[in-house]
């Protein structure tokens, strides 16, 4: 597949990758015109809405409660260290001050504010790394031609030519990488939309080269569900831990050596959906974060803000709970890498410097066998309270007495290594 041939990441880029890995937890934000219809970000496609009618939503977009400082503070209080927001989703509406199309939040809405700029300023002020989601698919433009698997709305005749659309993307990415300060990553989505058009070429190489030219440190992540292409700096897994494919999206289960990320949403929708009250419990969400860390991956957890610009109350409750948990257990998550013990049914391990954290998420036995050489272990203590935990050295590892493990969300044993 086409990509940036011969790509060699710069030292700044490699540093950014490690910084990304250290951050471990990010908040994903899906927000756009679709939020007003309160039926998810695919509503335009799912309900086959005529694009000229859908576009009229812009005239009523006025999120009176939007406050970038507040959002970033809420994200921070959740314990997240980065934020990824939809700069433009499949509906084609730009949530930033683009000069390349009037179909954007500044020119087409009475709100008239560049929310990406406001967020970028706040992220930089508050120390949150900023990532931009950018859709390759476009259900609005007539030069998104040939039509893809989605967005086949009848009234939209595709008169334009593909090269114009590609130039549009290139120009918009240039805007995003020159007008908003340092960007941690561009997060692409939608490659799959053209995978039934034989011979189709996204010309990602040119997009990737431009991004890396403008901001060499900026990571490129592309949610294409395939083995990473040359030129990419990270690998994301949609609604799955790395290598799993329970969501049925992946065409490849390859886990690359690039920084890994799992993206998931708190309920079942990415964009705000009023009827979707199926929020995961605090425990489930924290377990997912811990499992991601144990699988050597970050977790990017989504919230779909309301059309008025506020996060739903159910999402806020969960953010606060995760934040509270991370205040106590953050040391076992941030800056760690997946531990030497492969993820198990009972839980996972994370590792940082001379510490190995054993996260028991689901207690099964009183004694846990860990294939970690006994002679490398200096001490075993409960992470909370630092009480000694008994263990015996066995031929191929240690047997850890975890009879004290409680039903807490995560019972962590801290092993100090030589
Ligand atoms: O932005 C969120 C979603 O809107 C977007 N990615 C997340 C982060 C997303 N779009 N689609 N999907 C997620 C699910 C993918 C469905 C697919 Fe298919 C299955 C793509 C290819 C096969 C269905 C059939 C849609 C296109 C063809």
Closest CA to 341 of 333, 350, 332, 352: 350
Q: How far apart are CA 157 and CA 22, in angstroms?
A: 47
Write down the pLDDT at residue 179: 98
Query: Phi-psi bin for 208: left (phi > 0), alpha (psi -120 to 50), beta?
Result: alpha
Q: Does 2.60.40.1180 match the CATH number of domain 347-417?
A: yes
- CA-proximal residue: ligand 1, atom 3 (nearest): 270
Packing angle, helices 68-77 and 115-126, rounded to 10 = 40
Considering only CA atoms, which of 265, 264, 263, 266 is closest in space to residue 314?
A: 266
Could you state, in chain order, the average pLDDT of each consecutive group of 10 residues for the chain (418 residues)?
83 98 99 98 97 98 98 98 98 98 98 98 98 98 96 93 98 98 98 95 97 98 94 96 82 89 98 98 98 98 98 98 98 97 96 98 94 94 97 95 90 97
Residues 86 and 31: their CA atoms lie apart, in Å, by 6
Q: Which residues pair with 207 in a beta bridge?
A: none
Distance 237 CA to ligand 1 centre (A): 12
Q: Could you give the strand order of the β-sheet that contains 391-394, starting from the edge strand earlier in sequence?
A: 367-370, 397-401, 391-394
Instruction: Give the pLDDT score at 248.
Output: 78
SS3 176: helix
> Would the CB of 391 count as within 6 Å of ligand 1?
no
229: cis peptide before it, omega within 30°? no
Q: Packing angle between helix 68-77 and helix 313-329, nearest 10 degrees?
A: 50
Cα–Cα distance for residue pair 202/271, rounded to 1 Å: 26
> Which pLDDT value is given to residue 249?
78
> Could you tell me how many residues make up the chain?
418
Q: What ipTM is given for this predicted complex?
A: 0.94
Distance of CA 265 to the CA centre of its chain: 9
Our answer on whether the CB atom of 226 is closer than 6 Å to any ligand 1 atom is: no
pLDDT at 247: 76
In the block, residue with structure tokens 């918009």? 172
Check pocket membership of 192 for ligand 1, CB cut-off 6 A. Answer: yes
Is the shortest distance between the CB of 139 and ligand 1 below 6 Å? no
What confidence score (pLDDT) does residue 333 get?
Answer: 98
DSSP state of 388: B
| Pocket of ligand 1 contains residue 41 by CB under 6 Å | yes
Chain mean position to CA 80: 11
Quick check: CB of 264 below 6 Å from ligand 1?
no
CA-nearest residue for atom 18, ligand 1, is 192
Count helices and strands (H / E) in the chain: 9, 16
Which two three-digit tokens encode residue 252?
């490849």
Cα separations in angstroms, 141 against 56, 136, 145, 172, 321: 15, 12, 9, 14, 41
Q: Where are the alpha helices (DSSP H) in 221-378?
A: 282-294, 313-329
Q: List beta partners, residue 222.
A: 188
Q: Residue 32's pLDDT is what?
A: 98
- Which pLDDT value is given to residue 327? 98
- Return the SS3 of 165: helix
149 burial via Cβ count (<10 Å: 0-12, 13-18, 19+):
middle
- Please name the residues in contact with 38: beta carbons below 8 A apart, sequence gap of 6 or more: 272, 273, 274, 275, 307
Topology adopted by domain 11-337 = TIM Barrel (3.20.20)
Whole-angstrom distance, CA of residue 103 vs CA of residue 94: 6
Q: Give the tokens for residue 103.
A: 């179909």
Q: Where are the domains of the chain?
A: 11-337, 347-417
Q: Is 150 in the pocket of ligand 1 (CB under 6 A)?
A: yes
């Amino acid at each position: 597949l086409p990509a940036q041939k011969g790509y060699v990441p710069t030292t700044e880029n490699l540093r950014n990758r490690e910084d990304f890995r250290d951050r471990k937890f990010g908040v994903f934000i899906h927000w756009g015109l679709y939020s007003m219809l309160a039926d998810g970000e695919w509503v335009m496609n799912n309900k086959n809405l005529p694009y000229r009618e859908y576009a009229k939503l812009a005239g009523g977009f006025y999120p009176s409660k939007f406050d970038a400082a507040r959002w970033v503070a809420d994200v921070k209080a959740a314990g997240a260290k980065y934020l990824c927001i939809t700069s433009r989703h499949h509906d084609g509406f730009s949530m930033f001050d683009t000069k390349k199309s009037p179909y954007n939040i500044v020119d087409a809405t009475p709100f008239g504010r560049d929310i990406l700029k406001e967020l970028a300023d706040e992220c930089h002020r508050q120390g949150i790394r900023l990532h931009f989601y950018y859709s390759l698919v476009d259900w609005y433009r007539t030069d998104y031609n040939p039509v893809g698997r989605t967005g086949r709305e009848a009234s939209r005749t595709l008169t334009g030519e593909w090269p114009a659309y590609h130039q549009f993307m290139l120009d918009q990415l240039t805007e995003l990488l020159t007008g908003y300060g340092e960007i941690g990553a561009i997060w692409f989505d939608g490659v799959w939309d053209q995978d039934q058009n034989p011979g189709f070429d996204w010309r990602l190489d040119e997009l990737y080269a431009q991004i890396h030219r403008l901001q060499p440190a900026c990571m490129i992540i592309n949610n294409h569900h395939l083995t990473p292409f040359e030129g990419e700096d990270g690998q994301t897994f949609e609604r799955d831990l790395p290598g799993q494919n329970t969501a049925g999206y992946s065409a490849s289960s390859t886990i690359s050596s690039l920084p890994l990320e799992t993206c998931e949403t708190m309920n079942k929708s990415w964009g705000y959906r009023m009827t979707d009250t199926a929020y995961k419990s605090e425990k489930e969400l924290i377990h997912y974060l811990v499992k991601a860390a144990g699988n050597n991956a970050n977790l990017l957890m989504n919230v779909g803000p309301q059309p008025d610009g506020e996060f739903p109350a159910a999402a806020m409750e969960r953010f606060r709970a995760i934040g509270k948990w991370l205040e106590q257990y953050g040391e076992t998550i941030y800056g760690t890498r997946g531990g030497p013990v492969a993820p198990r049914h009972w839980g996972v391990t994370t590792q940082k410097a001379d510490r190995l954290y054993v996260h028991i998420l689901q207690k099964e036995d009183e004694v846990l066998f860990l294939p970690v050489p006994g002679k490398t272990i200096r001490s075993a203590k409960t992470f909370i309270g630092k009480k000694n935990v008994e263990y015996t050295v066995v031929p191929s590892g240690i047997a850890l007495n975890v009879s004290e493990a409680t039903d807490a969300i995560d019972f962590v044993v801290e092993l100090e290594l030589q």
